[in-house]
Amino acid sequence: MAPEGTVPTAARTLPELVAWCAEQHADREAIADGPVRLDFARLASEVERVARALLARGVAPGDRVAIWAPNGWRWVVAALGVVSVGAVLVPVNTRFKGAEAGHLLSRTRARLLLTDDGFLGNPYLAMLDGQDLPSLTTAVVLGARPARPDGGPTVVTWDDFLAGGNAVLVAEARRRAAAVRPDDVADLFFTSGTTGRPRGVIGTHGQAIALYVAWSGRATLRPGDRCLLVNPFFHTFGYKAGVIACLLRGATIVPQPVFDVAATLDLVERERITVLPGPPTLYTSLLAHPDRVDRDLSSLRVAVTGATTVPVVLIERLRGELGMRTVLTAYGLTECGGTATMCHPEDDPVTVATTCGVPVDGVEVRVVDGTGASLPPGEPGEVLVRGYNVTRGYFEESEATREAIDPDGWLHTGDVGVLDERGYLRITDRLKDMFIVGGFNAYPAEIEQALVRYPGIVDAAVVGMPDARLGEVARAYVVPARDAVVDPAEVVAYCRANLANYKVPRSVVVVPELPRNASGKVVKAELRRVP
């Protein structure tokens, strides 16, 4: 297997990668999604069909195309089709409500949306009613055709969408693919900053390939591996460390749309899964399931995790009870392509559990004090990252870009960490208020903005509180208006209707006022002591 930093492919762009896979791994299974089985040659063919359909709809280089759908084979071929015509992929969180998705579609002026309308009972297109989306001309429904909304985009089925591409010559699709360059923008993955407003992080073709050559090398991926991708494709962990990494190494993509521990056990056993990346909660759920001991999970070889504190005993159990020879932790942000540091396969359980590893090849990490001076090993400070993986910036937000990336190219992560004598990074705290719920980043400011829109609430603050299953969950502290009566249960119900489920506070505490310091900022450390 090619070592880390060695490019296993001559591809410089994602369409070149798809073509390379079709040549090098033609008959090897690329996707196993229930009854749908695509080898790499067929995958390339399906991607080209999507590319022709997009061209038939007038999608031009640089146009934004969104996907609001769960993990599945259509997501993969749609995404690769989008980037193959030089368009920009905009993944949308499947847990988003209409206003959240509408903001992304409006902000990017997306021309076309591919969606699995009705996934988990969510009527995505109906949820967009009332959103101002003048640029959105077409919605492609991956399942059955829904009722056509009044005044909205043209709605077509997946089959009709593909049929429209028959009018476009194969040569034209291949010409467009060949015109894509490594520095072209490939995707906009949205994240939230300290203001709570989503920001589109610009990622290029060349960045994705170079970074996940390094990632997949250190993760020991190899041809013939079968990767169960539970991490959602709308996140870099699912798409880049999943789909793209599999393409780079000739591994099979086995998508799972929703994490369900029983279904995961079934898939691991039936599909002979070898690689299972995910947040720590995924592994703890597997280990705790009563049926686990009766399943043949002997195919498992690799686990890659991160996102929160990892107990040493979890690493030991993955190696001892599940027989996973390679168990790694990693650290990264969307702004650096999803990966900055990563453990090595030979690292001991304590190192894997208590650190995030060392920088991947070509990436630098510093820990600095408030003046920007580098700190010695063992001293905590802000984590800075520099390298080819750092984003060009936030989509159409130059000021926010300048705030995040300094003139020397260092990305200021907002995370507090410590480097040890070996150069291994340990994240100890966050400058930002973000907390992590079952592997998903939750931003208090965004939740707080929703809370103060609730009738009768004049002020709100949100903190992350420890949770045995999810790592952390939101707790909201709300201040009612004069003479207003605020029912915590009704506030939670309101949040469930307006926010993705991982953002919803698990508890709401009504307080007369929020503790603030002399500058007027909420002192959240005091709030955490309020029962």
Report the number of distinct structural domains present in the chain: 3
Q: How far apart are CA 313 and CA 308, in angstroms?
A: 15
Of 355, 354, 331, 353, nearest to 341 (Cα)? 331
Res 518: pLDDT: 45
Boundary of a domain, candidates 377, 396, 430: 430
Alpha-carbon torsion (332, 336, 341, 344), positive or negative: positive
Segment 398-407 mean pLDDT: 96
Together in a domain, 324 and 367:
yes
Reported as a pLDDT band with limits 50, 70 and 90, residue 194 is: very low
Of 103, 78, 84, 83, nearest to 93 (Cα)? 103
The domain spanning residue 426 has which CATH number? 3.40.50.12780
Boundary of a domain, candidates 173, 202, 231: 202
DSSP state of 53: H
Judge whether residue 310 has pLDDT over 90.
Answer: no
Together in a domain, 130 and 269:
no
Residue 508 domain boundaries: 435-527
Together in a domain, 34 and 166:
yes
Judge whether residue 147 has pLDDT over 60.
Answer: no
- Beta bridge partners, 519, equal none
Segment 31-44 mean pLDDT: 98
Together in a domain, 55 and 142:
yes
Segment 263-272 mean pLDDT: 97
Res 192: pLDDT: 57
Together in a domain, 168 and 21:
yes
Question: Is there a domain that residue 238 lies in?
Answer: no
Of 404, 377, 379, nearest to 392 (Cα)? 404
Together in a domain, 57 and 189:
yes
pLDDT tens across 225-262, in order?
Answer: 999 999 999 999 999 999 999 999 999 999 999 999 99
Of 80, 336, 64, 51, nearest to 210 (Cα)? 336
Share of the chain above pLDDT 90, in %: 76
Judge whether residue 509 has pLDDT over 60.
Answer: yes
Together in a domain, 285 and 182:
no
Measured between its terminal Cα atoms, the distance across the chain in Å is: 54
pLDDT tens across 345-371, in order?
Answer: 999 999 998 899 999 999 999 999 989
Across the chain, mean pLDDT equals: 91
Question: Is there a domain that residue 252 lies in?
Answer: no
Question: Is there a domain that residue 223 lies in?
Answer: no
Alpha-helix runs per DSSP H in 180-244: 205-218, 236-238
The domain spanning residue 38 has which CATH number? 3.40.50.980
Together in a domain, 165 and 29:
yes
Question: Is there a domain that residue 248 lies in?
Answer: no
Boundary of a domain, candidates 180, 202, 224: 202
DSSP state of 377: T
Together in a domain, 421 and 451:
no
pLDDT tens across 94-123, in order?
Answer: 989 999 999 999 999 999 999 999 898 889
Judge whether residue 401 has pLDDT over 60.
Answer: yes
Judge whether residue 185 has pLDDT over 50.
Answer: yes
Together in a domain, 164 and 85:
yes
Question: Is there a domain that residue 246 lies in?
Answer: no
Checking DSSP bridges between strand 112-115 and strand 138-141, what pairing results, if any? parallel
Of 3, 451, 515, 446, nearest to 195 (Cα)? 446
For helices 40-56 and 14-24, angle between their N-to-C axes, nearest 10 degrees: 150
The domain spanning residue 494 has which CATH number? 3.30.300.30
Helix%, strand%, coil% for the chain, nearest 5: 35, 25, 40
Res 10: pLDDT: 76
The rounded radius of gyration (Å) of the Cα atoms in the chain is 23
Question: Is there a domain that residue 226 lies in?
Answer: no
Q: How far apart are CA 90 and CA 187, in angstroms?
A: 6
Reported as a pLDDT band with limits 50, 70 and 90, residue 84 is: very high
Together in a domain, 374 and 469:
no
Together in a domain, 341 and 439:
no
Q: What phi and psi values does residue 207 have, to the nearest 5 degrees?
A: -60, -45
Reported as a pLDDT band with limits 50, 70 and 90, residue 196 is: low
Res 312: pLDDT: 83
